[in-house]
Amino acid sequence: MRAAGQGGRQSRRTFLQTVAGAVAVVAASAKRARGAEAARPNIVLLMADDLGFSDLGCYGGEVTTPHLDRLADEGLRFSRFYNNALCGPSRASLMTGVNPHVLGIGSRWTGLLRKNCVTLVELLKQAGYATSAVGRLDMTTADGWHDPEMLARHLDRFFGSTSHTGPGNYFAVVRGAEDWLNGKAWTPPADGYYRTDANADYAVRFLREQAAGDRPFFLYAGFSSPHWPLHAREAEITRFRDLYRGLGWDAARARRHERLAGLGLVRPAWRLAPRDPRVPPWDEAPHGVWEAERMAVYAAQVHALDRAVGRIMKALDETGAAAHTLVLFLSDNGPSDQVWKRPLDRPGDPWRRDGTPTRLGNTPDIPPGPADTFVTYGPPWANVSATPFGGYKGSVYEGGIATPLIVRWPRGVEARGTVTHALGHITDLMVTCLDVAGAAYPTTFRGRTVRPLEGESLLPVFEGRERPERQPVCWEMRNHRAVRTDRWKLIGRKGRPWKLFDMHADRTETRDVAGDHPDRVEALARVFATWSREAKRGAGGGRLTGNGRLHGLAVRLRRP
């Protein structure tokens, strides 16, 4: 009996030891899994709308942007990063990593991505990320992104508009740009609503909720600011009113050019692009006070955007997530020079859902700023925002496609507070996010074949390592065409002669050297023709290799 009892006790001890060992293995495995999750950074992707290259303080501007300046001080600024010149094409490339033409979004916005793509949000969610978005999500995918009730398939949390009509009004809901909150229609508060602040409210709310979880998170904030109309609160307009009355557009451009050179973002030898021929000298402007008011309101919108970014950064700090979060900030295209010429003053116009009359037009009798007006800042101040470049939103001159890109990642950016001159493009951001998240890019997704990625990871740039020279980048928007290599840029409108610029000597595109280099013009034109043909066809074959590079022709263009 005693022997049997001892054997039983021994068996129980062995059993308990076995169980304890198994528990320890499971616990260790769980700990390793949590460690693997912790090793993957959170990602916060912030996009401005129609922001110019030099509008931020850290990019030479006179607008006070302390929070974005802090991001730059603690991170990395790119001097040669590009978007796709228009909102829809830029957002398509941002979320898919491929050229917008192959997605069905080229020179105009169609609102529907083809079935040959998969989005960053889908892949991050599949990889275990919590996903959320606020603001402009004007993208329709093949399986129903545009339907707010379907967004839950891709996003754990969403607040904003799925339309592509622009903000319409910063103080009120407008037809076609209603906001949704997690699949349900959202009604703004009766008082105090301002679109930029509302987006920040929910960005902070989602961030805090997801930071409290046990998964890495992805937050996309697509702000409308500073897209027209010019709408801002009086207290913020007052901050800039005297500044622009005393400065004017000529002095503002000259000051920004000088500051950009001092910051190392442009070369001092690059001449300031000429003033837009539609714009008179500042001292000859017929309505100087009203003109200054337009820019003061625009600056207030940029300042409100900066404040929203500051709130998001504060939430990262307070949740303890900041040290382990990759933050990216950029603009979808350059500044808009659009002008509204037909004044409207009638109930039920397209910009107000409640029938409130809207004074629409760019004339001195319509003040920018209030909710019942619809004013833009036009060529004079868009020319300032694009400093030191020429060109605007919709064109492929540098003013239309060059965007600020600020990267903050305490555990991933090697040289903080510095400027990099690495050449990058908006298609690179999806590749980069997948790279840092350890998420794979598939050849098929939910039964459909997807386009190979065309971007290239920026991770080597973040880490201070050498990155191979980026392959040529091409654009075609509204008959504007361009090819950019490290040194050369070929540009021209369809049916007109090509222009060639040496981007090392003249990035502001003031001296056309096509006549001096006819062979290079011909070679770059062939690159563009190949890209355009394959991109529009949307096929994976031809001269486009598996990673989207233009094979062969690009290699011959690397020599100066």
Query: What is the DSSP secondary-structure string of 478-497?
Result: TTEEEEE-SSEEEEEETTS-
The least confident of 323-327, 340-344, 347-351, 440-444 is 347-351
CA triplet 27, 125, 455: central angle to 5 degrees? 120
Residue 394's region, left for phi above 0, alpha for psi from -120 to 50, else beta, is left
Note the pLDDT tens digit of each residue in 199-251: 999 999 999 999 999 999 999 999 999 999 999 999 999 999 999 999 999 99
Does the pLDDT of residue 254 top 90, yes or no?
yes
- Is the omega angle on the peptide bond into residue 364 within 30 degrees of 0, that is, cis? no
What pLDDT is stored for residue 149 in this prediction? 55
Query: What is the DSSP secondary-structure string of 32-60?
Result: HHHHHHHHSPEEEEEEESS--TT-SGGGT
Q: Which amino acid is at 469?
A: E
* Separation CA 176–CA 174 (nearest Å): 6
- Buried b or exposed e, range 284-311, using 16+ CB within 10 angstroms: ebeeeebbbbbbbbbbbbbbbbbbbbbb
Q: What percent of the chain has pLDDT over 70?
A: 81
441 and 453 Cβ atoms separated by less than 8 Å = yes
Which structural domains are found in the chain, ordered by start?
Answer: 41-462 (3.40.720.10), 473-556 (3.30.1120.10)
What pLDDT is stored for residue 355 in this prediction? 63
When the pLDDT of each residue in the chain is averaged and rounded to a whole number, the result is 85
Which pLDDT band, with edges at 50, 70 and 90, does 148 fall under?
A: low
* Separation CA 498–CA 492 (nearest Å): 5
422 and 88 Cβ atoms separated by less than 8 Å = no
290 and 364 Cβ atoms separated by less than 8 Å = yes
H/E element, 238: helix 234-262
What pLDDT is stored for residue 361 in this prediction? 84
- Buried b or exposed e, range 111-129, using 16+ CB within 10 angstroms: eebbbbbbbbbbbbbbbeb
Q: Which amino acid is at 270?
A: W
Distance of CA 327 to the CA centre of its chain: 12
* Separation CA 52–CA 401 (nearest Å): 9
